[in-house]
Structure 1
Amino acid sequence: MNESGAASPDRLLDLFHGVRLTPTQRRIAHCLVRHAGAAAYLSAAEVAELAGVSQPSVTRFAMALGHDGYPALRRRLRELGARDAADQDRAGNALQRAVHAERDNLDRLAAQLADADRVAEVGRLLAASRPLPVLGLRAAAPLAAYFAYFAAKVHPDVRVFDDGGSMLVDRLDQAVAAGATAMLAFVLPRYPRETLEALREARDAGLTVVAITDSPVSPATQHAQVVLPAAVGADLVFDLHTAPMTLAMVVLQAICDAAPAETQDRLEAFESSAARRQLFLG
């Protein structure tokens, strides 16, 4: 839960939307999002230290966002924080606010999906990869498994990579040798180091990496050719992944739409098999 006067991560992301940032500036933006509760009170020197950049870089970052310097950006952050505090006062108790925040995350995702052609292109890219590697480590592992469970009903070879370690790179190499051309990766906070290393390995191996991640300034942007952001809820003790899971199913729909005849044939074959084996009660 944000402190009074602290801008929420979503408010911060709205500031960066549509602004072309350099890699260094993306690091600063990501740092501010991660420290959203304190961002409005940090000095330029403190932001520079947290982000691992120079203090002039922080000043240039503020100017890239349309401010005449970092103090003006900090005032803007405090204004946004005051607005968030007022909204929270009207939003009910802490549990209700967490659910309302997820609704807002879904609204933002819906707005992003106005560009249906981009999602359709992602669907064609992933549908054409045989096999299709799906990466999700630690907190992202359940999302990778959920996506893969349904994707396997319409795609002939879905391979879930949900364990790290030295074997992960071996499995990536095997997928590439078998004909994989793209990989779908779930990259969620707290961003496991192994996940980012796997993205780099996949790209170096020639795979086109599509990343579902929490923000357009996520560390995944350093290695993924296609980044699909969906905000993560951070108002409870553990993160809520409502929007990323929804986006995963949207991507799967795009895969189905990319090969409708094959999708229909595979679904009918599964239903026939399920009926023969009496898998379901209904």
Structure 2
Amino acid sequence: MNDGGVRAGERVLDLFAGARLTPTQRRIAHCLVEHAGKVAYLSAAEVADLAGVSQPSVTRFAIALGYEGYPALRRVLRELTDGSDGERGREHNAMQGAIAAEADNLGRLCQQLERLEDVRRGAGLLVASRPLTVLGLRSAAPLAGYFGYFASKVHPDVRVLDTGGTSLLDRLDQARAAGADAMLALVLPRYPRESLEAVREARSMGYAVVAITDSAVSPVAEHADVVLPAAVGTRLVFDLHTGPMAMAMVVLQAMCDADPEPVQRRLERFEATATRRQIFQA
């Protein structure tokens, strides 16, 4: 997909932000994003053939998004994909364009956060879990560690699972036996199989799963109780994770807001300990 196709796909992806989609509907959504440049001019039957689903599934998908049918959705798709970004593209070099696209991602995330119901629901599940389990493998491992570092200042028992292997499920078992009933799963492209398997296993153990991922049609969405999408940057050789990192810190703030008095006591104890041990440069 060229730069114009990527931008069109990003605009189409916004249609699905916060939507609860079935696996078949996620398949259709993925098709619309991947083929954003042409699907706005295809019939429902042609989209169904492209996505490998039935024509009624395409109609039900449009209705699930709040449209009367696929023709109404197609009109919106045309509005989203007909716009030209050529002038903007000429203003920036490739590196500036990547950062500008990331700023656009953050702008969409800001708009998404006008509704905080899912964030607050996820935060409530996480702050009440003792211990709190945080999963992030491969590219998501640094983000899991980042979240875990700060979460440990306000939560008494945070367990970061940032390495895979045969012991991963053992550690999930151990946390569950210790009382954990919620897990934050950070699952980013290219969606490691091991992460998805761990999330499925966690659900079977009785965990509630709060997922931070790149879109509402991510493979992990099917297995999560709460999905918090935040787009990743795709203009450079390797993805930029500014959006997911911001979302992780938003979730942590919501956790603090959900249980303020114990959080404040823990923060005060940490500051007193840090001062006594001279941890930070004055």
Q: TM-score, normalised by structure 2?
A: 0.85
Rate the CA distance shift 1:83–1:6 in 2: closer, same or farther, 3 A: farther
Instruction: Percent identity, please.
Output: 62
Alignment partners' CA distance in 1, 2:218 and 2:252: 22
2:133 aligned counterpart, secondary structure: strand
Rate the CA distance shift 1:126–1:192 in 2: closer, same or farther, 3 A: same
Alignment partners' CA distance in 1, 2:187 and 2:50: 21
Q: Does 1:171 align with 2:171?
A: yes
Amino acid corresponding to residue 112 of structure 2 in structure 1: Q
1:228 aligned counterpart, secondary structure: strand
Residue 9 of structure 1: how far off its partner (Å): 2.9
Rate the CA distance shift 1:246–1:20 in 2: closer, same or farther, 3 A: closer
Amino acid corresponding to residue 16 of structure 2 in structure 1: F
Residue 97 of structure 1: how far off its partner (Å): 1.7
Amino acid corresponding to residue 140 of structure 1 in structure 2: A
Equivalent residue runs for 1:71-220 within 5 Å: 73=74, 80-86=80-86, 88-89=88-89, 91-220=91-220
1:154 aligned counterpart, secondary structure: coil
Amino acid corresponding to residue 213 of structure 1 in structure 2: T
Q: TM-score, normalised by structure 1?
A: 0.85
Q: Which residue of 1 aligns with 2:279?
A: 279
Rate the CA distance shift 1:61–1:89 in 2: closer, same or farther, 3 A: farther
C-alpha contact (below 8 Å) 1:7/1:77 kept by paired residues: no
Q: Which residue of 2 aligns with 1:54?
A: 53
Task: State the Cα deviation string for residues 150-172 of structure 1 (Å, max 9, x = none).
Answer: 10111110000111122111111
Residue 221 of structure 1: how far off its partner (Å): 1.0
2:159 aligned counterpart, secondary structure: strand
Task: State the Cα deviation string for residues 3-54 of structure 1 (Å, max 9, x = none).
Answer: 4466533212133357664320212212443566887799999976875x33
Amino acid corresponding to residue 175 of structure 1 in structure 2: A
Residue 255 of structure 1: how far off its partner (Å): 1.3
Name stretches of at least 5 consecutive residues in structure 1 with no aligned partner.
none
Alignment partners' CA distance in 1, 2:18 and 2:153: 37
Q: Which residue of 1 aligns with 2:9?
A: 9
Alignment partners' CA distance in 1, 2:119 and 2:6: 34
Alignment partners' CA distance in 2, 1:205 and 1:277: 40
Rate the CA distance shift 1:47–1:240 in 2: closer, same or farther, 3 A: farther
Rate the CA distance shift 1:3–1:97 in 2: closer, same or farther, 3 A: closer
Alignment partners' CA distance in 1, 2:165 and 2:247: 27
